[in-house]
Amino acid sequence: MAAHRDQSDVPENAPEHCPGVKSEEAGKVSACEGCPNQNVCASGLPKSPDPAVEEIKERMLSVKHKVLVLSGKGGVGKSTFTAHLAHGISSREDTQVGILDVDICGPSIPRIMGVDGEQVHQSGSGWSPIYVEDNLGVMSVGFLLNSPDDAVIWRGPKKNGLIKQFLRDVDWGELDYLVVDTPPGTSDEHLSIVQYLSGAGVDGAVLITTPQEVSLMDVRKEVNFCRKVNLPIIGVVENMSGFVCPKCKNQSQIFPPTTGGGEKMAEDMKIPFLGKLPLDPRIGQCCDEGKSFLTEVPDSPATEAYKNIIQKIENFCKGTEEMET
């Protein structure tokens, strides 16, 4: 018979069905897979929170706002959005921005930001980010690979260890915004980032989808994940929402929203809808070349849409800051 689960024994932001840190099943059941505390719980040693949580809290004292970019499905433009969110915020020279890429198996941020092939340097204060601009830094597992073609074939514990190291050991200095690019899904990396940042506080998550139902199905799972781990949802962005002709500026639907698209889903799930980003072929070209679409193509309807969405995200974060003070 399974041991009784004492709710007071369940850590904040614990995975669903966590048996509790004092249970005989702690660290041994399927619900424990991917939890940063799994090894400690299973060892039989006195159960206490991972000391990295407090260390990360100290490191993150210099970071004002932390925003996670999530998507339930791959290929919806999450990394592209992360990059341009950072580009948009850092367009003000007095604003310091960092991108943390925790997509361990598919690190595309270095290429999108135009810094692939760079090497991470370590100092007495920790790992130094790679800087795109004086006020825009990047950290990614992509900088640790010998070649961009190298496959990262890691199990959960090693992924969790790297995420912990990124959060604890990267010397960002004073940051106004840290934007975290995550892989698709709701698994190891997501649990780790939420639990390790539990002491530092996260402003919220931006969820990226495309208009078709096959994408919305997975984003609904992401919404439920955020609710289960008490992660605030800043809002939903519908990417690839129509095609913008670079010459005539007319829009046409490439992915028809058969069930109402991201806006209808956000309404049904009672979460904010941040806006629609049209598909402009020059976005992909800028990403391949490591350039900011916002500065390269300022007259595109997609640029205007990006700016409006970025402003809403900043307003949300500033509102969180005002509530804390």
The number of domains in the chain is 1
pLDDT in tens, 70-123: 998 899 999 999 999 999 999 999 999 999 999 999 999 999 999 999 999 888
Q: Residue 58: inside a domain, yes or no?
A: no
Task: Determine, yes or no, domain membership for 141.
Answer: yes
Integer CA distances (angstroms), 184 to 8, 117, 203, 255, in order: 31, 24, 20, 20
Residue type at position 119:
Q
pLDDT band (50, 70, 90) for residue 323: low
Domain membership of residue 39 (yes or no) is no
The answer to whether position 12 is within a domain reads no
Q: Tell me, yes or no, whether 60 lies in a domain.
A: no
d(CA 51, CA 317): 27
Computed over every residue of the chain, the mean pLDDT equals 88
- The answer to the question of residue 220 being in a domain is yes
Give percent of the chain above pLDDT 70.
87
Structure tokens at 274: 């941040």
The secondary element (H helix, E strand) that includes residue 89 is helix 78-89
Q: 130 in a domain, yes or no? A: yes
CB neighbour list of residue 106: distance below 8 Å, 6 or more residues apart:
74, 183
170, 139 in Cβ contact below 8 A?
Answer: yes
Q: What is the CATH number of the domain that holds 77?
A: 3.40.50.300
What is the domain extent for residue 270? 67-324
pLDDT tens column, 159-191: 999 999 999 999 999 999 999 999 998 888 899
Do the domain assignments include residue 19? Answer: no
